Structure 1
Amino acid sequence: MKIAKILNNNITIAVDDHGNDIIVMGCGVAYQKKHGDEVDESKIERIFTKSVSELGKKFEALLKEIPHEYLEAADHIINNAKLRLGKELTNNLYLSLTDHIYFAAQRNREGLEFRNRLLLETKMLYKDEFKAGMEAIEYLNERFFISLPEDEAAFLALHFVNASYGMHMNETLEITKIVQQIRTIIRNYYRIEFNEESLEYYRLMTHLKFFVQRMVTDKKQPSDNEDLQLLKMLSERYKSSYICMQRIMKFLEKEYNYLITPSEQLYLTIHIGRISNEFQSKE
């Protein structure tokens, strides 16, 4: 691959053997290089192959303002998050995370701290992502001699959530808020405190996150007559769970103008029934 444009000593836009534009990252990969030179593949640490023109412009703008060590820090954090979460994260995370941690560090040095109003919800709903966020905070505090609070770990956790599902931050914030609202309706209806370590709680939260994700992105599950028949049966057999689901349905329709399909009603009733059965069996 040959260098097409140097962004800085550690990032360059190159052309591969098939004539495709790629972004190459690596310590010193473009040092003392010029247009047309071969890329030293031994120095390559990461390659981006999608939306190169858009990413290249954003990288170029970012690097004019932010020191390279923050991009290195973001790369370290992302690699650690991938190992902890066991999943790939979208390339756009390199831009958004670098930008976030740089300004978080700047704010901290100036004595400005932003409270995260979704701290508790993020800790409850995205436990693994929050742990990865806490590890990132410890790393950043040590590397840059700052003292970021756990509020920032929650912000980073939501960045990981975005990158996992390919969503925008405003969608992730909306999903987190709505899931917490539904959780509160269930808790108040049954007057219970959830066992957050239980398998049924994990199943409920997983279902709610994907259900609300579909809601926010306006992708409803398809339904058929069989769903209606099963829903009728469940409404008679599990009246309490069905009534709780109806409260959620009315809330979402009133607050978000969202109509839950029979298929979504069905699965939501089932998961509510499981969590209520777990509580009742302990009682």
Structure 2
Amino acid sequence: MEQNVVIKKVLNNNVIIAEHPSYEEVVLIGKGIGFNRKKDDSVSFNKADKTFLLSNEKEKQQYVDLVPHIDEELIDFTNDILFHIEKRMGEELNQHIHVALTDHLAFAINRAKKNMQFSNPFLQEIESLYPKEYQIAMEVVTMIYDKLGIQFPEGEIGFIALHIHSAVTDKTLREINRHNQLINQLVQLVEDTMKVTIDKKSIDYHRLVQHLHRAIDRVHQGESVGEEIKLANMLKEEYPVCYNLAWKLIKVMQKWLKKPVDESEAIYLTIHLQRLTHKS
């Protein structure tokens, strides 16, 4: 059944904000949906190819300010990209990605056209921590090349992957980046202390980074991994260097996160470190 909505604001020929009887304000995207229309006009909800909510007032205003400065075809293409991401992730994305990723891609495309390249110091950590998001980000970069003929630098894959991860976990990019900085610092401490260069492509590096990531999450959630006193004593005797380094890592985590870290984390970190440094 056809349902009409009332236009609250026309952002461009293809994007409008309308008042919906059930969802309050919605963003409607469709070819020509805003053409020759104005505030308070009635339009069929079915004319929209895509719809999404922006219930957060700040994000809605950001989107309203952003859209007029971006090419209409790019807005439409970005929404195709978001649809692809949502389908591949198999879950609904947080509404803030409509603002954040649209803004990021517009600037990234502009940088690429000017041959300005930004390095991503956490690229390998991102690939290790969020493999599914990283794979989908690679697909997005391919979509952009196929559609626009623009080749993004590898670092952009990492940035797009972070936006995807942010949208499925409801974590802010700032929070995710802080965690990646901490993990990077911890890995650097391992290399400096053990005087090794860790193979960032190895499965043991991947396991260490995954463990550090989960440990940080456990700290935030106040979870414990359980006490294993006998195992701790055995590891302390068998692998004293790795055990002491594990405690150094825990102290850095506590200082960075400003929260206590469960002592049992030292056991599992020691095991990871021994496996990693032994192979190195």
TM range (shorter): 0.7 to 0.9
Structure 2's unaligned 5+ residue stretches are none
Q: Displacement of 1:150 after TM fit?
A: 0.9
1:258 aligns with 2:255: no
1:151 aligns with 2:155: yes
Contact in 2 for aligned 1:129/1:160 (Cα 8 Å): yes
Corresponding residue pairs, total: 270
Helix, strand or coil at the partner of 2:43: coil
Helix, strand or coil at the partner of 1:47: strand
Q: Distance in 2 between matches of 1:68 and 1:143?
A: 14
Aligned to 2:230: 233
Partner residue of 1:269 out of 264, 267, 270: 267
Encode CA deviations 1:235-255: one digit per residue, 9 max, x unaligned. Answer: 21332364342121123345x
Helix, strand or coil at the partner of 2:116: coil
Moved more, 182-191 or 19-28: 182-191
Aligned-residue RMSD, C-alpha: 3.3
- Equivalent residue letter for 2:167: A
Name segments (4+ residues, structure 1) moved above 4 Å.
184-198, 200-204, 274-280
Helix, strand or coil at the partner of 2:42: coil
Q: Displacement of 1:233 after TM fit?
A: 3.4
Aligned to 1:4: 7
Helix, strand or coil at the partner of 1:7: strand
Encode CA deviations 1:77-119: one digit per residue, 9 max, x unaligned. Answer: 2232334334432111111111111111112222222222223
Contact in 2 for aligned 1:220/1:261 (Cα 8 Å): no
Contact in 1 for aligned 2:246/2:269 (Cα 8 Å): no
Q: Distance in 1 between matches of 2:199 and 2:273?
A: 8
Scaled by the length of structure 2, the TM-score of the pair is 0.78
Q: Displacement of 1:221 after TM fit?
A: 0.8
Q: Displacement of 1:186 after TM fit?
A: 5.0
Q: Return closer, same or farther for 1:189/1:63 CA change in 2, 3 Å cut-off.
A: same
Helix, strand or coil at the partner of 2:264: helix
1:107 aligns with 2:75: no
- In the TM superposition, 1:33-182 aligns within 5 A as 33-34=37-38, 35-48=40-53, 50-51=55-56, 53-182=57-186
Q: Displacement of 1:65 after TM fit?
A: 1.0
Partner residue of 2:33 out of 29, 39, 53: 29
- Equivalent residue letter for 2:222: Q
Q: Return closer, same or farther for 1:259/1:235 CA change in 2, 3 Å cut-off.
A: farther
Structure 1's unaligned 5+ residue stretches are none
1:20 aligns with 2:20: no
Encode CA deviations 1:59-86: one digit per residue, 9 max, x unaligned. Answer: 2211121112222232222232334334
Q: Return closer, same or farther for 1:117/1:150 CA change in 2, 3 Å cut-off.
A: same
Contact in 1 for aligned 2:136/2:161 (Cα 8 Å): yes
Moved more, 35-44 or 65-74: 35-44
- Equivalent residue letter for 1:179: I
